[in-house]
């Protein structure tokens, strides 16, 4: 077409005129669309600002439809993608208009950056504490005043400052929150909810109907039943980091009418704090022998990546052996289950989102470690954010029956590693009294070895020594538990929930010895400030341990007032429920925290 226009100048002039008209029409259309989008957004905000209970049927339908029309598939801002890839950082694009991105102040000098790195390395070395005595904890308890909104705003500011003054996070890690729930998250949570109601209710699939979302006192109340608001006076048990308590998380007791001089602290709260899994090598001599062999030069999985500045670019780097192992595990994910699921990415900054299935056995990642040339400071380390002191969490107790739980004081995006579950690595000879605390990292049901290493050709890039895979087989066909009862960290305080916001996944580093496995608790929805952190202990926990009397009382719990209403919903109705539930919580976050920070 170009050569044809060059030979006919008149036709060329005519084409230019037509082209000009098209551009003008396009500009007019673009302005009209922008105005239309603005008006829709204003109308949507007006609906969201209303009390959901006061909405008419027409307004509810309008709300659901308008929110659905704003859906886009999850897309990571391009600048974040570049940080996770091996390509140049020069390309970037702006984040969508409706996205809230929180970032902090920048590091002003190289000296500040060096100081931050030094403190970070020192923190990593402090891994094991001394078990505190209950009498010592009781002696230091004091009454403190509490202003919830003030504390949540302060926590958000502190988090932004921590990110903005850390050279490994600044410009790499972004916390992104949208006014509307992501379509993928809505579908996944609704599918999980539907499966839960089918399993927990006495009715079969045919009886789960298409009941529309109708507001009632029970449903409105259950929208925020994961959020905890403390009293104005609290009992502070542990004020932060010490020789025994190797973290900055404070511990409170908020039991009504509890007196300072009569405070009850359970013996189970006196445990040895550890940021890493502990192994008694004398009791596990065969594991000790194999782990030493696995960490020899010819067997250890470590990369030689040195490019990319402060944060090395190991993710999607075909020359990185750790990324190759990570990629291979992704290829093996879910191969016998849902073919539509492409696998979960275990990179440093991308969301780690698990499929709506029995994910624990399928969803496994591999990360770079301190043994690599990158020292684990790279884009292929799903454990990296856990090493950073940026989480604003709190342990609290609201009643004696439930015991202690954990809540977040800041908003957490979907797919964020929030906690590592640590403990003592034990074989199948586990004391019966420790069963309630322990989690199997490798079990007979898991069939981990057969799933992962049945075809040695898949792992040809590792160059393992002769006979190594046979010795690995012997260890991976055993049952291994993590027992946090006497040695562990704050993750042991995470409560069970019928509507969990965290999922447990496995990540290996250095190799595939059970000693190289780490359990991560990753957010599976946006968790707003004040909400409790919970995960599902497993299908048998409520029946066997709680005698079917669950105390979580979330909207999907049999003991809640909303269970009988929600169990009749179809997947589509549950999607509508997630839409409105998300927006109520986001609205509170925006009004109570984001606006106050920007003032």
**Please, are residues 130 and 272 in contact by the beta-carbon 8 Å criterion?**
yes
CA distances from 32 to 28, 29, 71, 100, 472 (A): 6, 5, 20, 25, 65
* Cβ neighbourhood burial of 365 (10 Å; 0-12, 13-18, 19+): buried
* Beta-carbon count within 10 A of 112 CB: 14
The pLDDT of residue 339 is 59
User: Cα 432 to chain center, whole Å?
Assistant: 31
The pLDDT of residue 330 is 92
**Please, are residues 508 and 475 in contact by the beta-carbon 8 Å criterion?**
no
The pLDDT of residue 200 is 81
So what CATH class is 78-127+147-229+274-598? mainly beta
The pLDDT of residue 309 is 84
The pLDDT of residue 81 is 39
The pLDDT of residue 204 is 47
Tokens 């809505």 -> residue: 186
* DSSP classification of residue 464: P
The pLDDT of residue 65 is 57
The pLDDT of residue 24 is 44
**DSSP string spanning 26-80?**
HHHHHHHHHHHHHHHHHHHHHHHHS-GGG--HHHHHHHHHHHHHT-------HHH
* pLDDT block averages, 10 residues each, the chain of length 599: 38 40 49 74 69 61 58 42 42 39 45 51 59 88 97 96 91 93 94 88 54 75 88 95 86 94 89 92 93 95 90 96 96 65 89 83 93 97 92 94 95 97 87 77 86 89 91 93 93 94 97 97 97 88 71 88 89 91 94 92
The pLDDT of residue 205 is 45
């Amino acid at each position: 077409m170009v050569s044809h226009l060059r030979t006919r100048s008149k036709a060329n002039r005519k084409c230019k005129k037509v082209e000009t008209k098209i551009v003008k029409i396009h500009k007019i259309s673009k302005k009209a669309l922008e105005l239309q989008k603005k008006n829709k957004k204003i109308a949507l905000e007006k609906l969201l600002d209303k009390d959901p209970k006061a909405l008419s049927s027409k307004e509810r339908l309008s709300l659901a439809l308008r929110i659905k029309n704003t859906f886009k598939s999850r897309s990571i801002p391009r600048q974040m993608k570049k940080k996770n890839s091996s390509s140049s950082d020069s390309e970037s694009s702006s984040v969508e208009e409706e996205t809230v991105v929180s970032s902090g102040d920048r590091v002003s000098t190289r000296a500040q950056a060096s100081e931050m790195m030094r403190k970070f390395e020192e923190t990593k070395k402090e891994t094991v504490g001394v078990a505190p005595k209950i009498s010592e904890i009781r002696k230091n308890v004091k009454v403190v005043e509490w202003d919830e909104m003030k504390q949540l705003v302060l926590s958000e500011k502190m988090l932004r400052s921590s990110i903005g003054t850390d050279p490994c996070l600044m410009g790499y890690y972004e916390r992104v929150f949208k006014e509307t729930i992501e379509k993928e998250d809505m579908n996944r949570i609704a599918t999980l909810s539907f499966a839960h109601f089918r399993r927990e209710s006495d009715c079969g699939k045919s009886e789960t109907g298409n009941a529309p979302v109708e507001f009632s006192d029970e449903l409105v109340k259950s929208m925020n039943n994961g959020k905890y608001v403390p009293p104005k006076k609290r009992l502070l048990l542990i004020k932060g980091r010490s020789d025994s308590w190797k973290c900055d998380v404070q511990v409170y007791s908020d039991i009504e009418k509890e007196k300072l001089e009569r405070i009850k602290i359970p013996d189970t709260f006196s445990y040895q704090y550890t940021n890493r899994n502990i192994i008694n090598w004398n009791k596990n001599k065969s594991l000790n022998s194999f782990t030493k062999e696995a960490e020899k030069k010819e067997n250890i999985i470590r990369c030689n990546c040195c490019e990319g500045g402060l944060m090395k670019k190991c993710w999607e780097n075909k020359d990185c052996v750790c990324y190759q192992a990570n990629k291979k595990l992704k290829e093996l994910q879910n191969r016998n289950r849902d073919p539509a699921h492409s696998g979960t990415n275990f990179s440093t900054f991308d969301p780690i989102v698990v499929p709506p299935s029995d994910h624990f056995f399928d969803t496994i990642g591999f990360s770079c470690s301190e043994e690599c040339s990158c020292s684990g400071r790279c884009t292929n380390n799903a454990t990296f954010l856990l090493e950073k002191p940026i989480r604003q969490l709190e342990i609290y107790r609201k009643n004696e029956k439930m015991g202690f739980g954990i809540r977040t004081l800041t908003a957490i995006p979907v797919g964020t590693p929030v906690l590592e579950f640590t403990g003592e690595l034990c074989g199948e000879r586990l004391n019966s009294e420790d069963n309630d605390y322990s989690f199997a990292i490798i079990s007979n049901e898991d069939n981990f070895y057969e799933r992962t290493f049945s075809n040695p050709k898949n792992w040809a890039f590792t160059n393992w020594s002769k006979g190594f895979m046979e010795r690995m087989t012997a260890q991976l066909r055993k049952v291994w538990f993590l027992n946090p009862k006497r040695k562990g960290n704050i993750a042991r305080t995470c409560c069970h929930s019928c509507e969990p916001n965290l999922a447990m996944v496995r990540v290996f580093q250095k190799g595939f010895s059970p000693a190289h496995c780490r359990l991560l608790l990753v957010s599976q929805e946006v968790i707003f400030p004040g909400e409790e952190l919970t995960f599902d202990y497993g299908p048998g926990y409520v029946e066997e341990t709680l005698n079917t009397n669950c105390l979580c009382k979330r909207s999907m719990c049999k003991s809640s007032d909303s269970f009988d209403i929600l169990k009749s919903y179809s997947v589509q109705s549950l999607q509508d429920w997630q839409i409105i539930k998300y927006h109520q919580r986001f609205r509170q976050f925006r009004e109570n925290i984001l606006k106050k920070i920007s003032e």
